[in-house]
């Protein structure tokens, strides 16, 4: 914790009242609880039905926190490459902790539209690595941690696309391929649904299109 609850409450209230969605970095369960307390307080004092507060990382949760996150309509921006990129830290956390960390399965099962975050540049900015990590929960060392939090490829794609657009109130213009939306998409050499899950991060990117114009082509 870097701020007292009173200081956090004041900042969240100020941002919330300005019509801006709060986005707070909170990793541990104590910090997440403090963030939720501030958001709940601000909403009670100054209701904003369209508010979509975000919790960056939102790493370690429990059932009570998940219920509060859903009630507050908060959106976890989960550190999605972490399970693959940082397994050297996991023996210090332990398996029991990892069963409640980067808890995408729990969030989605609760109906919470969690999105993804890379923590770039301390963490790698690689959407395909993120997809692989979310689907396998396996690190670069081949060990699996918190397998109960695995999600499907289809769910991981939604977390990385449409849910991210929803978090910023942009779901009507981006996040999926549909008439009237921005022509932003990527063409991959293989289908993440059918390739070996342990090779998703290695799928070649053939083309990226932004606003209907090719930005990259292999």
Mean pLDDT computed over 128-155: 98
Write down the pLDDT at residue 199.
Answer: 98
Mean pLDDT computed over 46-73: 97
Contacts of residue 121, defined as CB under 8 A and 6 or more positions apart, other chains included, come to none
Write down the pLDDT at residue 1.
Answer: 82
Write down the pLDDT at residue 2.
Answer: 86
With bands split at pLDDT 50, 70 and 90, how would you rate the model's confidence at 60? very high
User: Given strand 75-79, what is the order of strands in its sheet?
Assistant: 23-26, 54-57, 75-79, 115-117
Mean pLDDT computed over 163-180: 96
With bands split at pLDDT 50, 70 and 90, how would you rate the model's confidence at 122? confident
Nearest alpha-carbon partner for 120 in 171, 173, 81, 68? 81
Every domain of the chain and the residues it spans: 5-172
Quote the distance between the C-alpha of residue 102 and its chain's center: 8
Mean pLDDT computed over 150-167: 98
The sign one gets for the Cα dihedral 171, 174, 179, 185 is negative
Mean pLDDT computed over 21-42: 97
**How many percent of the chain have pLDDT more than 70?**
100
Any idea which architecture 5-172 has in CATH? Answer: Alpha-Beta Barrel (3.20)
Q: Is 66 left (phi over 0), alpha (psi -120 to 50) or beta?
A: alpha
DSSP per residue over 160-182, as a string? HTHHHHHHTT-TTTSSS--TTS-
Please give the Cα distance from 143 to 88 (Å, whole number).
10
Residue 123 has pLDDT above 90, yes or no: no
As a residue count, the chain comes to 218
The phi, psi pair for 187, rounded to 5°, reads -110, 125
Residue 119 has pLDDT above 90, yes or no: no
Mean pLDDT computed over 29-57: 97
Mean pLDDT computed over 152-166: 97
Residue 159 has pLDDT above 90, yes or no: yes
């Amino acid at each position: 914790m870097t701020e007292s609850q009173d200081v956090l409450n004041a900042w969240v209230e100020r941002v919330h009242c300005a019509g801006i969605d709060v986005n707070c970095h909170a990793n541990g369960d104590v910090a997440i609880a403090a963030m939720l307390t501030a958001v709940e307080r601000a909403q009670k004092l100054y209701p904003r039905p369209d508010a979509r507060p975000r919790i960056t990382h939102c790493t370690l949760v429990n059932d009570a926190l998940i219920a509060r996150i859903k009630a507050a309509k908060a959106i976890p921006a989960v550190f999605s490459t972490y399970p693959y990129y940082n397994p050297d830290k996991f023996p210090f956390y332990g398996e029991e902790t990892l069963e409640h960390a980067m808890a995408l399965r729990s969030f989605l099962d609760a109906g919470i539209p969690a999105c993804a975050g890379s923590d770039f540049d301390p963490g790698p900015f690689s959407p395909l690595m993120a997809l692989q990590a979310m689907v396998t929960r396996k690190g670069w060392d081949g060990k699996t941690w918190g397998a109960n939090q695995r999600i499907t490829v289809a769910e991981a794609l939604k977390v990385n696309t449409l849910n991210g657009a929803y978090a910023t109130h942009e779901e009507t213009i981006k996040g999926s391929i549909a008439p009237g939306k921005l022509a932003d998409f990527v063409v991959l050499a293989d289908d993440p649904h059918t390739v070996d899950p342990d090779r998703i991060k290695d799928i070649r990117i053939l083309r990226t299109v932004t606003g209907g114009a090719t930005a990259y082509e292999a």
